Amino acid sequence: MLDLQDLDLQLDQVAHKRKSLPEHAALAELATEKAVVDRELVTADTEVSDLRREQKKADSDVEQVRQRKARNQQRMDSGQVTSPRDLENLQHEIGSLDRRISALEDAELEVMERLEAAEVVQAELQTRADAFTGRQSELEATRDEALKELDEQRATYGDQRATVAAELPDDLITTYQKLRERNGGIGAAPLVGKRCMGCRMELPPSELSAIKTTPVTVVLRHEECGRILVRTPETTL
In the sheet with 220-221, reading across from the earlier edge strand, the strands are 195-196, 188-193, 228-235, 220-221
Res. 76: pLDDT tops 90: no
In terms of domains, do 88 and 141 share one?
yes
Give pLDDT, residue 174. 96
Paired with 235 in beta bridges are 193
Angle made by CA atoms 106, 110, 114, in degrees to the nearest 5 = 170
**54-71 in b/e burial notation, b at 16+ Cβ within 10 A?**
bbeebeebbeebbeebee
Beta bridge mates, 221: 228
Q: Flag the least confident range among 34-48, 67-81, 130-144.
A: 67-81
Query: What does pTM read for this prediction?
Result: 0.72
pLDDT, residue 178, reads 96
Instruction: Tell me, yes or no, whether 176 and 73 share the same domain.
Output: no
User: Do residues 60 and 30 share a domain?
Assistant: yes
Please give the distance of CA 62 from its chain centroid, rounded to a whole number.
49
- Which of 111, 138, 165 delimits the end of a domain? 165
20 and 70 belong to one structural domain: yes
Q: Residues 199, 182: contact at Cβ < 8 Å?
A: no
Task: Specify whether 142 is located in the same domain as 190.
Answer: no
* pLDDT confidence tier of residue 215, bands split at 50, 70 and 90: very high
pLDDT at 74: 87
What residues make up the domain containing 175? 170-235
The average confidence (pLDDT) of the chain is 94
Considering the domain architecture, whether residues 203 and 148 belong to the same structural domain is answered as no
The secondary element (H helix, E strand) that includes residue 167 is none
Q: Give how many domains the chain has, as a whole number.
A: 2
Please tell me the predicted confidence (pLDDT) of residue 46. 97
**Proportion of the chain above pLDDT 70, given as a percent:** 100
pLDDT at 129 over 80: yes
pLDDT tens digit string along 15-62? 999 999 999 999 999 999 999 999 999 999 999 999 999 999 999 999
Q: Is residue 15 within 8 Å of 110, Cβ to Cβ?
A: no
Q: What mean pLDDT comes out for the span 189-212?
A: 94
CB atoms within 10 A of CB 157: 19
